[in-house]
Amino acid sequence: MARKKLASCCFKLLLLTSLITWSTVLSLDSSPGNHSDELRIGGIVDLTTHIGKEERAAMQVAIEDFFSGVDLNSPTLLVKNSRGDPTRAVSSAKNLIKKNHVAAIVGLRTWPEAFFVAEVGNKSKVPIISLSNEGPSWSDSNRPFLVNAARGQFAQMKAVADIISSWKWRKVNVIYEDINSAVSGIIPYLISALQDAGSEISQLLPLISTLSDHSLSKSLLDLKNGQCRVQIVHASAPLAAKIFTKAKRIGMMEKEFVWITTVDTMNLIDTIDASIISSMQAYDAMRAVSLALTDGVPRSKSFRNSTNNSLMLSISGEKIVSRISESNFEGLAGAFNFQKGILSHERNFRIINVVGRSYREIGYWTEKLGFSESTGAGSKYSKSMSLLGQVFWPGGPWSVPIGWAVPTSAEPLKIGVPVSNPHREFVDVVYDQLGRGIVAKGFSIDVFDATLKFLPYYLPYKFVPFNGTYDSLVEQVKLQFYVTFFGILRLNFSLKLEKNFDAVVADTAIVAKRFQSGDFSQPYADPGLQMLITAKTKNINRAWVFTKPFSTSMWISIGVINIYNGLVVWLIERNYEQDRNAEIRRGSLLNQIGYMLYSAFKTLFSLNVDKLSSNLSRIVMVVWLFLALVITQSFTASLSAIFSDQWNNLATVDVETLRSTGAKIGCDGGSFVVAYLRDVLNIHHDNIVTINSGDDYAAYLVSGKIAAAYLEVPYLKVFLAKYCEGFTTSGPIYKVGGFGFVFQRSSPYLPDISEAIVKIAESGTLKDLENSLTSSYKCLASASSDDHHRLRVSSFLGLFGISVGISTFALLLFYTYCYPIEQIAGPPELAAGPGSPARGHEPPATATELVARGPAAHEPAARAPEPPARGPAADDNIHVNRKRSSSGSTRTSCISHRKSSHSY
């Protein structure tokens, strides 16, 4: 930057000297050369302007500087005055080419001049080096002899867009001078840069330099009455002066307003710098032409007057254009090199803050780096202008304008709403009987109204009906940019931005292809696509329905616990049963095990605790009886629920079955579901039935016209709320769709709308709206199954653990303390008194008795119990029993004898 300032200061002095001595050179303007071997270079500038005169001087200085250091004849510069008229410029170009045989033409600061003169250059194959910085990107595509040696404006438009983005202004007004160069060059660049920055143009205001004061005031008043308060001005200095004067007079230089100007408008503030920049560009362009002419030409003095001019004259126009495009040197205006046929643009721009009649420099903008206070080494860059310090705004230095205001007569947003909506619970458009337009209502409309209440500004809008598919509706928000060319002698352009709707408010599904036309807001309804079928009960095997209350593992656990508890009781009772002839000891081991199992499972249906002899057995049985009570009651309740709930066993349908059987599947006509079924789920298009009303799904399913239907989840919730009996969902939920509002690409309102949707969701407003959507039908669908009532092991794990633990503890206690004592004390018969004869000393039976008894005689006869003794003998027996009790106190602590009467 310091180098450029120094170069500009030196260049001012040089230009003054050149302007003083230019009278001798100017005489060449109208007289053709007399020598056919003289090398000439043409120039076409507007000599009626100060900039044009300085451009002419810069070209001559460039030739003198270049050829003064080489041993070559310097070419002659022939300059024509176009007066800014493209027709005059074309005539001058033909004269220079046909009469003066110039090798190249330099100048043409405006794009219309360069456009038409380039046609002459193409026909004559003479290079045209333009100094217009407003040429469109396509300017070189069909004009091979046109070289644009001025730096483009796209980088400048990016700087403006970054300023807008730094202050988070979403909409701007653009005021520009209605000339072809602005329409075809600057404005498209500005629109693109603003879209990249997340902003858009609210209004385009083209003005002509000859516009009357009344028309100018009226145009500015229309901007003032609108909502946007940020103005970008791209106009020449005279027109910009008129704009600012009128704007101040009608109150547009006050608080809330922002004015941003481009380089051309800044000529009002710094005219010397603007002319110097243009002069330096002319100097660099002429130097590039000189380099192209002398490339490969010997520079020895021996060839000075004979061969060098012939070699320079023999260079073709194609070669000159090629050499200029390959140039790479550091010029006065910056690096002079081309990238893809375009001169490298300026990367740094100075930012100034105008305050009253003065201004101050606040910093710089550098491409791809951002804002900085300086451009030297070690500079700190930021994407925010806050790094540059305080900016003085209209109405006060500390109040940063928000960029919008409540409009006095702003045009409301045109919001498209669908007329043919199959699900009118979401959007229902009816025409007002009083002729006042339409009335839109429904869930989507309610969500949009709630969203607007959370915006930080007022957003006027009006609903416009649209009759067509949702895809066609979304396409209506696409911003169409038209440039119309017309004219014969003069090239004219017409710029037009067209769109039918600013936004779409409806139950619009968020799908990928619709992003080509617009952007979606944050979804306000969950995504999902699921199958809807009629609810049909499965053919349940009634013979085995009693097994349904318990799971398989539960049944196995009950059996294992029963057997285990029965085994514990059997082991304890068989060792302490006083009556050796009791049923628990009778028969073989197999018979005893059978009796054990019978006793264990009988516990589930009867109580036999009192028949047990051991306290340990009674403890085990009490716990098991409590568990059995809980299990039987739970079994009864679960089985009753299965029988009473007839929809617990619904037949399910999957997409594979539908696809293989060729069943008919219904969906909304004109929605993305049709393509999803066909392309993703591979349903044949002949099997897809489109339905145009949400209420028709019930009739189609019941009548069998369709076997299933695919609906988006929000629609399913409403349908099942209305028809809760006879219908259910089946299969997985495909995560596609979801409802959102559609806005233009890079719409400034979209971030605020999305943020507002999140706020209504967090505040509970969205949930309340969803509840009101379905609560009016007062009907809920059931989707239960047998497994819902089935009891599992986990439900009884605690009781099972207690039962097993108690049983195990009792068994261990028995074998640890009680069973060894029994083995020591012996059986009860050995402990009988002296008066009791031993079973081994019975008198032998006679032969007659053996024959009469048969085989049973070999077994010892059962002795009938003797009645208790009376009198003194009884006292002796009591004495003996007491002695026996005292000697076996430990044993009696573990065994509880049965009552002699055996009564229960």
Q: What is the pLDDT of residue 840?
A: 41
What is the third-level CATH fold of 526-537+646-737? D-Maltodextrin-Binding Protein; domain 2 (3.40.190)
Q: What is the pLDDT of residue 96?
A: 93
Query: What does the pLDDT average to over 425-432?
Result: 87
Residue-wise pLDDT for 835-888, tens only, equals 444 444 444 444 334 333 444 444 444 444 444 444 444 444 444 344 344 334
Residue-wise pLDDT for 736-795, tens only, equals 989 999 998 777 788 889 999 999 999 999 999 998 888 877 664 444 444 545 566 666
Q: How far apart are CA 133 and CA 333, in angstroms?
A: 13
Q: How far apart are CA 250 and CA 630, in angstroms?
A: 89
CATH number of 412-525+739-778: 3.40.190.10
Residue-wise pLDDT for 55-85, tens only, equals 999 999 999 888 887 667 788 899 999 998 8
CATH of 2-151+271-344, one of 3.40.50.2300, 2.60.120.10, 3.40.50.280, 3.40.50.620: 3.40.50.2300
> What CATH architecture does domain 154-261 belong to?
3-Layer(aba) Sandwich (3.40)
| Residue 97, H or E segment | helix 86-98
Roughly how many angstroms between the first and final C-alpha of the chain, as a whole number? 117
Residue-wise pLDDT for 19-30, tens only, equals 444 433 443 444
Residue-wise pLDDT for 558-594, tens only, equals 888 878 877 787 777 766 655 444 555 556 767 767 7
Please, what is the angle between helix 797-813 and helix 615-644, to 10°? 160
SS3 letters for 98-117? HCCCCCCEEECCCHHHHHHH
Q: How far apart are CA 667 and CA 687, in angstroms?
A: 11
Ranges in the chain annotated CATH 3.40.50.2300:
2-151+271-344, 154-261
**Residue 147 near residue 286, CB atoms below 8 Å:** no
Structure tokens at 361: 């420099």
Of 733, 757, 655, 8, nearest to 350 by C-alpha is 8
Q: Return the number of other C-beta atoms located less than 10 Å from residue 443's C-beta.
A: 23
- The chain-wide mean pLDDT, for the chain, equals 75
| Residue 190, H or E segment | helix 187-196
Q: How far apart are CA 35 and CA 33, in angstroms?
A: 6
| Residue 62, H or E segment | helix 50-67
Which amino acid, residue 692?
Answer: N
Q: How far apart are CA 147 and CA 130, in angstroms?
A: 6
Ranges in the chain annotated CATH 3.40.190.10:
412-525+739-778, 526-537+646-737
- Greater confidence (421 vs 710) lies with 710
